[in-house]
Amino acid sequence: MSSQDLVTLNVGGKIFTTRSSTIKQFPASRLTRMIDGRDQEFKMVGGQIFVDRDGVLFSFILDFLRTHQLLLPTDFSDYLRLQREALFYELDPLIDLLNQERLLQPRPAFLEVHFLNRHTQAFFRVFGSCSKTIEMLTGRITVFIEQPSTLTWSSNSFPPQMTLLPLPPQRPYHDLVFQCGSDSTTENQTGVRYVSIKPDNRKLANGTNVLGILIDTLLMEGFHLVNARTLSSEDKTECYSFERIKRPEAFTMNKTLKPETIIVSEQSPEKK
């Protein structure tokens, strides 16, 4: 590779050296005019083209030019500033990516778990903005109710054997409702409700233990516990609030098309 194939940019004091073809791959961009010497605002100084812009943000732009993917840190928040830099360099494909609403305005998913522990019973209600998470929990949670066996028995015989009848949790108003502990819904008889949450699969009647597994499940799904408080001083209902922000890992261009006709598609880095 000859030195003529390389170009060095000094962007805000940060030095970048790359192929000139990398910078010039979009003929309509200001970067191409800069390298060709057609933009008089940018001068060659000491073998470097000085650009009085943000060098940190330019590193993301250069990575996009090299890979045709927009890969940003998970805690990145300067979308509007990066969009401003893309406008300055007149990189329309990058502008199109940044204009996507879900990238510029990532919408967090909120979830709340209401927990009431009353004597020997515990009640749970899960609801929020993330319907897929509610459906996921519905598929993982099973409530088991003790039921006497079908064999008849008298007061003089041994107590009846108990079997566990599995039931799905309730779904009123798209929420998720279930309970565990003692169950006195049947007349003159008290059974026990157990809760099992996959992949743990233990059948638990203690509400505090079930709450712990439920919280662990949400944490493994990428949620973060942002608040824990008591809703009512009378019944002491506890409320646990969760939030999750998921951004696409990568946005890439369809390289089979010309740079002037870009299609945006979402693709994870593992599928490159």
Q: What is the pLDDT of residue 156?
A: 53
Q: CA-to-CA distance for 247 and 70, rounded, in angstroms? A: 12
The CATH code of domain 6-103 reads 3.30.710.10
> Phi and psi at residue 29, in whole multiples of 5°?
-80, 160
Q: Ramachandran region of residue 28, left (φ > 0), alpha (ψ -120 to 50) or beta?
A: alpha
Hey, is 266 helix, strand or coil?
Answer: strand
Residues of the chain with pLDDT under 50: 188, 256-272
Treating both helix axes as pointing N-terminal to C-terminal, what angle do 207-220 and 131-140 enclose, rounded to 10 degrees?
130
Do the beta carbons of residue 60 and residue 21 sit within 8 Å? Answer: no
Work out the number of other CB atoms within 10 angstroms of the CB of residue 262. 18
Cut 0.75: pTM above it? no
Domain boundaries, the chain: 6-103, 109-148+163-244
Q: Which residues on neighbouring strands pair with residue 8, listed in sequence order?
A: 17
Q: Ramachandran region of residue 222, left (φ > 0), alpha (ψ -120 to 50) or beta?
A: left
Kindly state the tokens that stand for 80: 């509007």
Q: What is the CA radius of gyration of the chain?
A: 30
Do the beta carbons of residue 141 and residue 197 sit within 8 Å? Answer: yes
